[in-house]
Homo-oligomer: A and B are copies of this chain.
């Protein structure tokens, strides 16, 4: 699912260059926000995949409620290519604010569903491995809790400056990758 959503992102870049005018080199240069948006969303979905993997490694069994929470999470992730395209197409025009807000609220919703699935699984050890390491479990809880707030803050910045908001989305992904690479295992 993560792989499919990430791979579909390239269709957005396709659509951008097909709609352009002028010689090919100019068009390829002109759509640089599409490349950035592609990379941002690809890496963001990649981070979600790594995190989902980490959650699943702590889990022992599933139940119906957990499966439905997961469907909600996947619904958000599969939605990501849509606001990504909005940002790529509109960040330099009138729709910049609407596009940044659409992207941001999708991220907020995704982060909320990440917390929902994790809390449902981990509260009172409901679905965890019997030998789950309490340090890892509380580490995951600490890592996921601020997610929705961080994305909400970056999203609200779009009311002042959509460009600054998108730069913040980029920074969140970059900092996450750098920080995990230095301190994660």
The answer to whether B11 and A7 have CB atoms under 8 Å apart is no
Q: Is the interface of A mostly helix, strand, loop or mixed?
A: helix
Whether A177 pairs with B68 at a CB distance below 8 angstroms is yes
- The reply to whether B78 and A25 contact each other, CB–CB distance below 8 Å, is no
Q: Does A50 contact B (CB under 8 A)?
A: yes
Answer whether A181 and B68 are a contact pair too, CB < 8 Å, given A8-B10, A79-B38, A81-B10: yes
A124 to B18, CA, bound (A): 47
Judge whether B42 and A185 touch: CB under 8 Å: no
Residues from 54 to 101 in A contacting B, C-beta threshold 8 Å: 63-65, 67-68, 71, 74-75, 78-79, 81-82, 85-86, 90, 94-95, 97-99
| Chain B residue nearest to A81 in the complex (CB) | B10
Task: Report the separation of the CA atoms of residues A82 and B28 in the bound assembly, to the nearest whole angstrom.
Answer: 11
Provide a sorted-by-A list of 18 A–B residue pairs whose CB atoms are within 8 angstroms. A4-B7, A8-B10, A9-B78, A10-B78, A10-B79, A10-B82, A11-B11, A13-B79, A14-B82, A17-B82, A25-B98, A39-B75, A42-B74, A43-B75, A50-B64, A64-B180, A65-B184, A68-B177
